[in-house]
Amino acid sequence: MAKEKLWDKNQELDNDIERYTVGRDRDMDLYLAKADIIGSMAHVTMLASVGLIEKDELSPLLRELRILFDLASSGQFVIEPEVEDVHSQVEIMLTRRLGDLGKKIHSGRSRNDQVLVDLKIFTRWRIRDIADLTVALFNTLMDQSERYRDVLLPGYTHLQVAMPSSFGLWFGAYAESLTDDLRTLHAAYQIANRNPLGSAAGYGSSFPLNRTMTTRLLGFEGLNYNVVYAQMGRGKMERIVAQAIGNIANTVAKLSMDACLYNSQNFGFIHLAEQYTTGSSIMPHKKNPDVFELTRSKCNRLQGIANDILLMTNNLPSGYFRDLQLIKEVYLPAFDLMEDVLKMVRRMIADIEVNEHITDDPRYDAMWSVEEVRRLVDEGMPFRDAYKKVGLEVNAGTFHPVKQIHHTHEGSISNLCSSQVRQLMSSVYASFPFQQVEEAERQLLNVR
């Protein structure tokens, strides 16, 4: 026998229609269970402050909600087959334990603003995880940059050998790219860190809610003030966050492509540890860079999520529509995928072996032509004459390079500015208000 829906008005339900409309929502809502419970703790605390729940009713509600939170934290929270979503499951479990008191928690609230605040709380948590892993990969890249700072390799333009580069520059370039990626993630965090709770179905409530109080209790930086805009933010926040995650994925995808090229026999610049390669069923010599190849593809999938969300929401007017439910299916698992990628890439970068004798190969001699032009200019020859002289020697096959580097400006081979880049990343990470949010949540969960 199907359980009664929270919104049921004695209407017969069609099982096929219910299956079609609910879809994967129960599975996706498990991602939101902890966020839903802590959001409800803030909501009932506020309800007690405005007299919609009796003072002596608050403690048992908070105590039972904390039990449910611990259940969700340990992975034991389940949404029963007949229950529609996480919001219904929490209310049903409270009602089983507390009777009619459990039915009071939804006063002044809609499932619309409930899922909005769930998504924002969840997003704040998961952005912190992504930020921590991004910094960890950054540090590994910077360590490798400093370790191999003096090992040269060819730089390319148009996939043609261009000028001398170094592993110090190569590793360091991807590290600094992650600092900008973290900036965009910080901007996305600011969008997520505003409280929509109290907007109800998108038009506010006649209940005397104190939205400032729930904002403080949940550690939000501020409110989504306009209740219509709070609902319009559904999908917009997810798209902005997905774009920020996609920026990190773009950096990692480019790094993965470089690693696949540089590991190939035609380049031979790096050697991947055996555990990150696989063999062929027919060619016994093969060591394929499968892990980096899969990483490249996973990163491309991650970059497409923002566009998926855009296509789901692009022609919707203001107000709530069921279309928004489907966003969860692409958005919520994206954090798991991004975390998995960052952890694996950090391992691979830490284990990379570098060829320290690449430029001994005469095929790369031409990349020293600019160094020779600079030497002739230092001796007094006009630049254009020096350029022509060296170009003719290269064409004639008579160019003999002097393999010495004189790059001293900021950010060049001999001046990587590693300490400045590390300080930049440190300042970007410090701009996230993680401690403020953590302290607010800790106080809310400290139920006596």
| Residue 400, Ramachandran bin (φ over 0: left; ψ between -120 and 50: alpha; else beta) | beta
Residue 158 corresponds to which amino acid? H
Say if residues 434 and 216 touch (Cβ distance below 8 Å). no
Q: Please give the span between the terminal C-alpha atoms of the chain, in angstroms, as a whole number.
A: 38
Indicate the number of domains in the chain.
3
Among residues 71, 104, 137, the one where a domain terminates is 104
Sort strands 194-195 and 160-166 into parallel, antiparallel or unpaired.
unpaired
Both 260 and 367 in one domain: the answer is no
Burial string for 314-342 (b: 16+ CB within 10 Å, else e) reads eeeeeebeeebbbbbebbbebbebbeebb
**The tokens of 67 are what?**
């039990």
Q: What is the pLDDT along the chain (448 residues), one digit of tens a residue?
A: 344 455 455 566 677 777 777 777 788 899 999 999 999 999 999 999 999 999 999 999 999 999 999 999 999 999 998 888 999 999 999 999 999 999 999 999 999 999 999 999 999 999 999 999 999 999 999 999 999 999 999 999 999 999 999 999 999 999 999 999 999 999 999 999 999 999 999 999 999 999 999 999 999 999 999 999 999 999 999 999 999 999 999 999 999 999 999 999 999 999 998 888 887 678 877 788 899 999 999 999 999 999 999 999 998 999 898 899 999 999 999 999 999 999 999 999 999 999 999 999 999 999 999 999 999 999 999 999 999 999 999 999 999 998 888 888 999 999 999 999 999 999 999 999 999 999 999 999 997 5
How many other β-carbons are positioned within 10 Å of the β-carbon of residue 49?
17
User: Considering the domain boundaries, does residue 440 fall inside one?
Assistant: no
- To 5 degrees, how large is the angle CA 151–CA 153–CA 156? 150
Q: How many CB atoms lie within 10 A of CB 358?
A: 18
**Same domain, yes or no: 21 and 54:** yes
**Does residue 401 fall inside a structural domain?**
no
User: Whole-structure pTM over 0.85, yes or no?
Assistant: yes
Token readout for 262 is: 């540089």
Quote the pLDDT of residue 6.
Answer: 52
Same domain, 383 and 422: no
Yes or no: say if 202 and 228 are a contact pair by the CB < 8 Å rule: yes
Nearest partner of 129 among 300, 343, 425, 424, judged by Cα: 343
Sole residue written with tokens 């501020």: 222
Which pLDDT value is given to residue 2? 46
Contact by Cβ (8 Å): 251, 181: yes
Q: Is 201 helix (H, G, I), strand (E, B) or coil?
A: coil
Pair 180, 67 in one domain: no
Locate all alpha helices (DSSP H) within 233-326, ordered by sequence. Answer: 236-263, 290-313
Query: Between β-strands 152-157 and 160-166, what pairing exists: parallel, antiparallel or unpaired?
Result: antiparallel
How far apart (Å, rounded) are the C-alpha atoms in residues 37 and 223? Answer: 20
In a domain, 216, yes or no: no
Domain around 97: 15-104
In a domain, 385, yes or no: yes
Residue 44 shares a structural domain with residue 118? no
- pLDDT on residue 1: 37
Structure tokens of 105?
Answer: 């928690």
324 within domain boundaries = yes
Cβ atoms of residues 382 and 111 within 8 Å? no
268 with 132, same domain: the answer is yes
Closest of 129, 108, 103, 118 to residue 25, by C-alpha = 118
Residue (of 199, 146, 65, 179) closest to 354 by Cα position: 146
Backbone angles phi, psi at 226, to 5 degrees: -75, 120
Closest listed residue to residue 331, CA positions, set 133, 118, 48: 118
What does DSSP assign to residue 2?
A: P
pLDDT single digits (tens) 331-388: 999 999 999 999 999 999 999 999 999 999 999 999 999 999 999 999 999 999 999 9
Residues 381 and 260 in one domain: no
Kindly state whether residue 214 falls inside one of the protein's structural domains.
Answer: no
Q: Which of 58, 84, 104 is the last residue of a domain?
A: 104
- Domain harbouring 429, CATH code: 1.20.200.10
423 and 372 inside one domain: no
From CA 22, how far away is CA 342, in angstroms rounded?
Answer: 32
**Rounded alpha-carbon distances, angstroms, from residue 383 to 53, 141, 378, 389, 399:** 82, 37, 9, 10, 17
Report residue 65 as tokens.
């909600």
Indicate if 161 and 310 belong to the same structural domain. Answer: yes
Same domain (yes/no): 344, 313: yes
Task: State the chain's maximal CA–CA distance in angstroms.
Answer: 94
Residues 175 and 45 grouped into a single domain: no
Residues 281, 190 share a domain: yes
Tell me the C-alpha distance between 85 and 288, whole Å. Answer: 44
Residue 182 included in any domain:
yes
In a domain? residue 349: yes
Task: State which of 53, 70, 104 marks the end of a domain.
Answer: 104
- Cβ–Cβ < 8 Å for 95, 40: no
Contact between 108 and 200 under an 8 Å Cβ cutoff? The reply is: yes
**CA gyration radius, the chain:** 28
Q: What is the CATH number of the domain that holds 91?
A: 1.10.275.10
3-class state of residue 160 by DSSP: strand
Which pLDDT does position 404 carry in this prediction?
Answer: 86
- How far apart, in whole angstroms, are the C-alpha atoms of residue 133 and residue 314? 32
